[in-house]
Amino acid sequence: MTDSATPSAAGDRPVPLVEFHDVTVAYGRRPVLWNVDLVIDAPCLFGIIGPNGAGKSTLLKAALGLVPLVGGRVRFAGEPLARARHTIGYVPQRESVDWDFPVSAFDVVLMGTYGRLGWFRRPGPAERASARDCLARVGLADVADRQIGRLSGGQQQRVFLARALAQEAAIYLLDEPMAGVDARSQEQIFDVLASLRAAGRLVVVVHHDLRTAAEWFDRVALIDMRLVAAGPTATVLTPDNLRRTYSGQVELLREVGLAVAERGRTS
């Protein structure tokens, strides 16, 4: 499991791909994340699961420096964010942008290449080819020139995913990529994520749907302001852990319990 992780300069112990150390975020006096300690060693499909308002998205934003930490630190393969940015791909929530903006799907995907282009340089043939390729990988080659507002919700989400692919990153952070997305797009997105894992990338997904979480992710972290549990999906999604994360949502828990049990039998 740890063979593909980058070896540290100090010794033979591999450096974790992502390391949250006592991460604390607060809005005013209200803590959103409190002393979250989370280590992701190796490439896999990693789900961050928790109820609404649990701080899942905030955890990604904190990792990317989009919200300030009041305490703790985040390291990517042992490096601070400033030196690791080019290795991180990001898919924000779909609601975070104005889809009436005058750009095509292709233009948006091209933005994924801006990071390595640097100041004032325009995308050239190589970047354009890469953007076309990424659009094709999410199944949107035929709507490349369409204004983004004329895409369906699932297509818009896949455009965001294609933009992250164009970043050619080692670590992908996705914020609710399955929210409000039709089943077909969900499958397509999941296939792309699985192919990234197969290519040795780490894919961290903030996810709200417990039912699909059980079948999609290799490892998960349960979060409700604090880290409740983290590790292989089957050992983490236990009734006890879920009860501690989702206090009160009993019916939901029962269904998920069944789904997990079923997965345990089949695998």
Partner 1 sequence: MSGGLPCSAALVAAASGLSASPGATVIGMAVPGVPYNTLVVACGVAAVGCAAGVVGSLALLRKRPLVGDAAAHATLAGVAGAFLLTGRRDLVSLLTGALVAALVGLGALVLVRRVTRTRDDAATAIVIGGGFGLGIALVSGITARGIPGGGGLEHFLLGHAAALTADDARLLMAVSAAAIALVVLALKEFTLVAFDASFAAATGWPVVLLDQALVTLVAVMVVVGLPAAGAVLVTALIVIPPVAARQWTDRVGTLVALAGGCGAAAALAGVIVTSTRPGLPTGPVIVLAAACFCLVSVVASPRRGWLGRTLRNAAERRAWAAGLLLDTCLRASERGDGTFTVADVTDGRTARAAWRMLEHEGLVERLHGRTADGSVPRDAWRLSGRGLDRARQRRRRAADWAAAFDRAPAAARERFSLELPECAIATDADATRAT
Q: Count other Cβ atoms within 10 Å, centred on residue 265.
A: 7
Per CB under 8 A, 184 contacts partner 1: yes
What does the alpha-carbon distance between residue 34 and residue 31 come to, in Å, rounded to a whole number? 6
Number of residues that bind partner 1 (CB under 8 A): 38
Question: Which residue, 173 or 229, has its beta carbon nearer to partner 1?
Answer: 173
Determine if 101 is a binding residue for partner 1 (CB under 8 A).
yes
Burial of 176 per CB tally in 10 Å (0-12, 13-18, 19+): buried
Given candidates 152, 195, 235, 247, which one binds partner 1 under the rule CB under 8 A?
152
- Residue 50: CB atoms within 10 A of its CB come to 24
Judged by CB under 8 A, the residue of 24, 87, 147, 249 near partner 1 is 147
What backbone torsions phi and psi does residue 241 show, to the nearest 5 degrees? -60, -45
Told to check if 97 binds partner 1 by CB under 8 A, we report yes
Residue 179 within binding range of partner 1, rule CB under 8 A:
no
Tell me the C-alpha to C-alpha distance, in Å, between residue 227 and each of 23, 24, 236, 240, 256.
Answer: 10, 11, 12, 14, 19
Choosing from 61, 75, 158, 201, the residue that interacts with partner 1 (CB under 8 A) is 61
Neighbour-count burial for 200-223, b at 16+ CB within 10 Å, e otherwise:
ebbbbbbbbebeebbebbbbbbbb
68 binds partner 1 (CB under 8 A): no
**Interface characters, 105-124, with partner 1 (x: CB under 8 A):** --xx--x--xx-x-xxxxx-
Contact residues for partner 1, defined by CB under 8 A: 61, 64-66, 82, 85-86, 88, 90, 92, 96-98, 101-104, 107-108, 111, 114-115, 117, 119-123, 147, 150, 152, 154, 163, 167, 182-185
